[in-house]
Amino acid sequence: MRTEREFYNQFVETIDNNIEELYRIRGDLESLEKRKNSNRYKEEYIRNEVDPQIRSLKKEMEERRKTGKKEVEDLCEEYRRELLEADSLKGSELTDDARLLSLGIPLSKKDLSSMLSRNPNNGTMLQLILKYAAEHEINLGVEYVGHSGTIDKLGGLPYAAEVALKWYENNDVYNQLIGEGSELSRLFPES
């Protein structure tokens, strides 16, 4: 499973690739507009050749913005599914401690704490241990939240992409929105 930072880096890379494409389109557009305004070409050529190309490039630019946002939406959905899968119970992750939990013998807070320390990265076992503790009113001072916080953070990323792609020429908007050190980048810390 990707870390939050690995996902965020993919998010930024997706936006950067689309911004690069927007700059390419803008360069082509500026070249055509210079040709149009140069007074070296007949009006008929401008109307029949250059103006349709300009309209086509403007449409392509708008489509690139939409495509970029859609790529971010797809990236977020893929990561959301990955996180939900990581949080789901898996029989393959059951350890010998699962048998102890199901035998019906009373387990102490110390027993459960030991199990937690043996299974720190096993979501299935953590959930089973905490469920047993809750059912037997044993407070371990631990709560399993899984990846729900990360999933919540994904919701605003398509809008951030939309803004970054709309204002792609403004480095301040980019840096404040998604650049290193931005509030959004701090939501997806290095592991």
Q: What is the pLDDT of residues 142-171, one digit of tens each?
A: 988 889 999 999 999 999 999 999 999 999
Is 152 a member of any domain? no
Clarify whether residues 105 and 62 are in a common domain. no
- 11, pLDDT greater than 90: yes
| Angle ∠(122,145,188) on CA atoms, nearest 5 | 95
Confidence of residue 121 (pLDDT cuts 50, 70, 90): confident
Using an 8 Å Cβ cutoff, are 50 and 35 in contact?
Answer: yes
Distance, CA of 175 to CA of 141 (rounded, Å): 39
Mean predicted lDDT score pLDDT of the chain: 95
Q: What pLDDT is recorded for position 155? A: 94
Is 66 a member of any domain? yes
Clarify whether residues 8 and 84 are in a common domain. yes
Q: What pLDDT is recorded for position 4? A: 94
Q: Which residue has 């387990």 as its token pair?
A: 107
Q: What pLDDT is recorded for position 128? A: 96
Distance, CA of 78 to CA of 83 (rounded, Å): 9
Q: What pLDDT is recorded for position 1? A: 85
Clarify whether residues 30 and 67 are in a common domain. yes
Distance, CA of 51 to CA of 46 (rounded, Å): 6
Is 191 a member of any domain? no
List of residues 6+ apart from 187 with CB closer than 8 A: 8, 153
